[in-house]
Amino acid sequence: MGKILIIDDERAIRRAMREILEFEDFEVEEAENGKDGLDKAISKSYDIIFCDIKMPLMDGMEVLDELIKAKIETPVIMISGHGNIDTAVQAIKKGAFDFIEKPLDLNRILVTIRNAREKVGLVEETKQLKTTVKRFKGSSIIGEMDSIIKIKEMIEKVAPSDARVLITGENGTGKELVARSLHDNSNRRKMQFIEVNCAAIPSELIESELFGHEKGAFTSAVKDKKGKFELASGGTLFLDEIGDMSASAQAKVLRALQENVIQRVGGERDIKVDCRVVAATNKDLRKEIEEGRFREDLYHRLAVILIHVPSLNERRGDIPLLAEHFMTMVCAEHGIPRKSYTEDALLALQQTDWSGNIRELRNIVERLIILCDNSITADDVRMFANPRAKA
């Protein structure tokens, strides 16, 4: 259900709250004074914090101030036997989620917890939506060539299931966009889409990133941390460039896929996870398996469904559509009027050798929009895109 910290100097209050919360299947930890509570709240992850106001060593208001300074986003519910309206207002203004007077009422506690968790869920969903809108505004899969139509049809068939998907293709072809389309058209679309770029994370940190870690697991592990498998539970986990994952991490990912459980680095407790895994790579995993760099059993776990994304050079007929799409998107981002392409400009774009694929095309279109006049010509493309005519 969740993990709750109770900070209160009265043992009877802590015991009573523990009994209530554990009956509701919450995991509960206690602190008998403000200083001890603050240390725990900063070093570990909690879903809710209950904090008394009148305590030795450090009172609840001071604890609240320090939590805010430390940018701890966990909802804090203040409790007090000496409460009044002014105290409650002051606590809420400082950043507390709510204020409850003693003697504590069971229903009030449970309702407040539910409201706090709903708020956290809405905040996370809003963050995710903002990120998605910012990065992928107008980024539906563009193309009318047979290869792209087949990918769209595959997504439509596969997305509603929980089948694992392995997406292959060169860098910049749009593998992440396919993964997001699978998520957005799935039954998990209301939950999070979590991305991990396995090539961008040092091998010694990839396991912590994927599975999380316990406090003290290594030198810089100053608090418990959830990994991407936990964060994506209920949603989709996208493992990009999985061909670059270390052998040790591959073994743990295989176990997670087989048993739907993980263990944090430095931990011994099994944690149940429920996320759909979509992976992508620009490598030939069959060759990686032959050369001993990738596990064959993991490959078969991931490649239930295979989707190959063609290079831009293999779908030149879609370049005019993509160029118009990026024209609209870039002009909107920069707040400038749309420009137009001449027919020979579009032909020049189609004759370019796109080694960087769609990502390169998008950059070139932005360059042309910024540097050219109202009409973009073939000469402009030759000057700024440096095309090499296809023989």
pLDDT tens track for 327-384: 999 999 888 899 999 999 999 999 999 999 999 999 999 999 999 988 999 999 999 8
The amino acid that residue 359 corresponds to is R
CA atoms of 62 and 382, how far apart (whole Å): 64
79 and 148 belong to one structural domain: no
277 and 358 belong to one structural domain: no
Helix (H) or strand (E) holding 22: helix 11-23
What are the structure tokens assigned to 219, written together? Answer: 């030198």
The amino acid that residue 222 corresponds to is V
Q: What is the CATH number of the domain that holds 175?
A: 3.40.50.300
Domain-ending residue, one of 310, 338, 362: 310
Split at pLDDT 50, 70, 90, the class of 139 is very low
pLDDT of residue 131: 52
62 and 145 belong to one structural domain: no
Q: Which DSSP symbol is given to 140?
A: P
pLDDT of residue 370: 93
CB 50 within 8 Å of CB 26:
no
Q: What are the CA-CA distances from residue 294 to residues 205, 211, 320 (Å)?
A: 18, 19, 38
Domain-ending residue, one of 257, 276, 310: 310
**58-89, pLDDT tens digit by residue?**
999 999 999 998 888 899 999 987 766 777 78
107 and 176 belong to one structural domain: no
What are the structure tokens assigned to 126, written together? Answer: 């809003």
Domain annotation covers residue 130: no
**177-191, pLDDT tens digit by residue?**
999 999 999 999 999
Q: What are the CA-CA distances from residue 315 to residues 52, 309, 328, 349 (Å)?
A: 64, 10, 21, 12
Residue (of 144, 112, 105) closest to 20 by Cα position = 105
Residue with tokens 């001890």: 36
pLDDT of residue 256: 93
**12-59, pLDDT tens digit by residue?**
999 999 998 999 889 999 999 999 999 999 988 899 999 999 888 899
72 and 171 belong to one structural domain: no
Q: Is the pLDDT of residue 124 over 80?
A: no
- Comparison of pLDDT for 218 and 177, the residue scoring more: 177
Query: Per the structure, how many domains does the chain have?
Result: 3
CA atoms of 68 and 98, how far apart (whole Å): 15
CA atoms of 355 and 26, how far apart (whole Å): 53
CA atoms of 381 and 324, how far apart (whole Å): 14
Q: Any residues with CB less than 8 A from the CB of 227 and at least 6 apart, and which?
A: 208, 209, 210, 211, 212, 213, 262, 264
Q: Is the pLDDT of residue 205 over 80?
A: yes
pLDDT of residue 83: 62
Q: Which DSSP symbol is given to 265?
A: B
pTM of the shown model: 0.67
What are the structure tokens assigned to 336, written together? Answer: 């400038």
Domain annotation covers residue 127: no
Q: How far apart are the first and last CA of the chain?
A: 63
Residue with tokens 């519910």: 77
CA atoms of 114 and 124, how far apart (whole Å): 15
The amino acid that residue 368 corresponds to is L
CA atoms of 157 and 320, how far apart (whole Å): 28
348 and 324 belong to one structural domain: yes
3-state helix, strand, coil in the chain (%, to 5): 50, 15, 35
238 and 189 belong to one structural domain: yes
**222-243, pLDDT tens digit by residue?**
788 899 999 999 999 999 999 9
Split at pLDDT 50, 70, 90, the class of 130 is low
Question: In the predicted model, what is the mean pLDDT of residues 281-305?
Answer: 96
